[in-house]
Structure 1
């Protein structure tokens, strides 16, 4: 049974547009989405998992001509994403419900982007989430993932006027968890990022570009 994530959703409902104000420059995220755009054929179906406000990823993918589906736990974030990216389709849902054949069966995708969304889960749930993403993709499907490098598990932190719980891995362990879920890591990059708010400390962001094994 998964943990109650009501507090996580409520925190992001309260944060709203201030998230983009606190994180105004997302070079690593934009570059990872560019990799998807370069690697996929026109018209591909892409899931933005933990889409937030839809900025920049869902908009970037939609403008590239992809069929974009976004999912987020926060109703406020979903509403903003629908406003920012009218060409996309957005749902308020939990990743735990996205397993093919589950209560939110959205079908298969050519690629999945999960930028800073899995870090909102306790570590015990992250391997299951990665397997769900694996099952949403065909063999050879693409997966772009970003996490903050940190050795923490379901740890409460202040975040833009609210409190959220986050998990993370050191880099070698993150690679092991991703590969154990059935992915090949084809590229990796990292960025030292200082948010535009004193409420969030500087962080090291790790981006993995992955492919589902056959």
Structure 2
């Protein structure tokens, strides 16, 4: 595994994710139809709403269609910025949550000195977005998130519990590559990135009509340690 400041692929560039983006471009609003029950994600979003003052800046990293996270945050009076790898998802998010700001970008674009400077945030939500990265890139992504946060900022993370690294799986008629960790190792990876874990929970989830078996979803509520 590379260090958070070390090289990735081809001199520090992340692995090409064109295929990942295309898979979600093709899915469009079918994503919300296939994943209608997001109680764990909603509960983690509500934690952000309850612990942040009105007007706080929140980054929805891997915002998808903007539902339910960006909409819920915006309705609570928070300043919401969303980022997603899929142009189709960003277009849907702009329709669903017009009061928020959305960008078509990769998390690598948000690193210090990268092409997209969004400033600092009081909180970051990353619901099932880091699982789209190879394991070697996840510590780098966590470091980027830490650098985007103000001191003591909140971080809500969800991942699928699985001991896999960049494995292709069928997904809503297409294929994507995913990574995951056993829950104890996920905690270690997050803590190594200098986040304090406030609370951990999990939920078993079976997508409606999808071609994947039930999954165990892990939710971590964290704060940036200084």
Q: Same fold (TM over 0.5)?
A: yes
Question: Equivalents in 1 of 2:212, 2:121: separation in Å?
Answer: 33
Q: Is the 8 A contact 2:28 2:89 kept in 1?
A: yes
Secondary structure at the counterpart of residue 165 of structure 2: coil
Question: What SS does the corresponding residue of 1:110 show, helix, strand or coil?
Answer: strand
C-alpha deviation, 1:99, in angstroms: 1.3
Q: Does 1:155 align with 2:179?
A: no
- Which residue number corresponds to residue 65 of structure 1? 77
Q: Deviations over 1:148-200 (max 9, x none)?
A: 00000000000001100000000000000000001000011100011101412
Q: Which consecutive unaligned segments of at least 5 residues does structure 2 have?
A: 1-12
TM-score by length of 2: 0.94
CA RMSD across the alignment: 0.6
Residue 74 of structure 1 pairs with residue 50 of structure 2: no
Q: Which piece of structure 1 moves more, 191-200 or 82-91?
A: 191-200
Match for residue 63 of structure 2 among 31, 37, 51: 51
Aligned ranges for residues 27-42 of structure 1 at < 5 Å?
27-42=39-54
Structure 2 counterpart of 1:186: 198
Equivalent-residue separation in structure 2 for 1:51 and 1:4 (angstroms): 20
Matched, 1:123 2:135: yes
Question: Structure 1 length as normaliser, TM-score?
Answer: 0.99
CA distance in 1, matches of 2:197, 2:110: 23
In 1, Cα distance between equivalents of 2:213 and 2:126: 21
Give me the whole-angstrom Cα distance separating, in 1, the residues matched to 2:113 and 2:120.
11
1:137 is matched with: 149
2:177 aligns with 165
Match of residue 211, structure 2, among 199, 202, 205: 199
> 1:83 and 2:95 equivalent?
yes
Maintained 8 Å contact 1:189/1:207: yes
Moved over 4 A (4+): none
Rounded Cα–Cα distance in structure 1 between residues aligned with 2:90 and 2:65: 7
Counterpart check, 1:174 vs 2:186 = yes
1:111 aligns with 2:123: yes
Structure 1: segments with no counterpart, 5+ residues? none
What is the rounded CA distance, in whole Å, between the counterparts of 1:109 and 1:146 in structure 2? 19
CA separation in 1, counterparts of 2:174 and 2:67?
A: 21
CA contact (8 A) 1:100 1:107 kept: no
Alpha-carbon distance in 2 for matches of 1:53, 1:200: 21
